[in-house]
Amino acid sequence: MSSPLLVARDLQQSFTIGRRRIEVLRGISIDVAASEVSFLVGASGAGKTTLLYTLAGLERPESGEVLFEGRNIYNLGGRDQARIRNEHMGFIFQGYHLLPELTALENVRLPAMMGGASTENLDERAASLLNDLQLGDRLHHLPAELSGGEQQRVAIARALVNDPDILFADEPTGNLDSKTGAAIIELLLALVRDRRKTLLVVTHDQSLAERGDRKLEIRDGMLTSHSNSTAP
């Protein structure tokens, strides 16, 4: 059996509000397999986003470790952490975070250019992703000229442009109406399954969480895992 792509052990995280100390992560451990699609659910304020950011190397835990492909992320220097995030991870947020002065195509190209990737065939690769996301006729439009659903599809293409091993998504449909959100999720799941990518999604939508291979639930700082027999 191959080793898990991502491993977390005994993650602890807390925040202090006034004189009150709130324990958000209380010894959470998890293994994430390659090509696995998981949805992380829990009540508002339960720590879903904190856990996601900690697993992605964006928020250092008070204690515990996160290993990506066997390397402890938080033992690495800032430059090495940034390189792993750029080359091996993709990020999709509730807010689209597109640069308003860049076209859809230029926004998608950006992570590859920032990482120093060869520009050869980069436009073709970015355009192909946008076409797969049904935006082939919107390549040269600015974000202000796109709907919310179109902007999120550009953000998904941007997350995939470096061919990452794992995608982290934080409430990717949170700013969209239910019909548009459902269409976005269908496209996202089709893309990651076709490309055999690992996907971890934070969502408040319990029905959506049934679409993955596994549903992870965080409650009182602890994590439980449930396999989804209905996942495709």
List pLDDT tens digits, range 102-146.
Answer: 999 999 999 998 876 666 788 999 999 999 999 999 999 999 999
**In the predicted structure, residue 229 carries a pLDDT above the cut 70:** no
* Contact (CB, 8 A) for 7 and 69: no
For the stretch 55-69, pLDDT in tens is: 999 999 999 999 999
Q: Which residues contact residue 103 at a Cβ distance below 8 angstroms, ignoring those fewer than 6 apart?
A: 139, 140, 141, 142
**In the predicted structure, residue 232 carries a pLDDT above the cut 70:** no
Joined tokens for residue 116: 């120093």
Q: Which residues contact residue 33 at a Cβ distance below 8 angstroms, ignoring those fewer than 6 apart?
A: 2, 4, 5, 198
Joined tokens for residue 155: 């953000």
What is the predicted pLDDT for the residue at 118?
65
Alpha helices for 115-177 (secondary structure H): 122-132, 148-160
CATH superfamily of this structure's domain 35-58+82-227: P-loop containing nucleotide triphosphate hydrolases (3.40.50.300)
**In the predicted structure, residue 33 carries a pLDDT above the cut 70:** yes
What ranges do the domains of the chain cover? 35-58+82-227
pTM to 2 decimal places: 0.92
Residue 190: pLDDT band with limits 50, 70, 90: very high
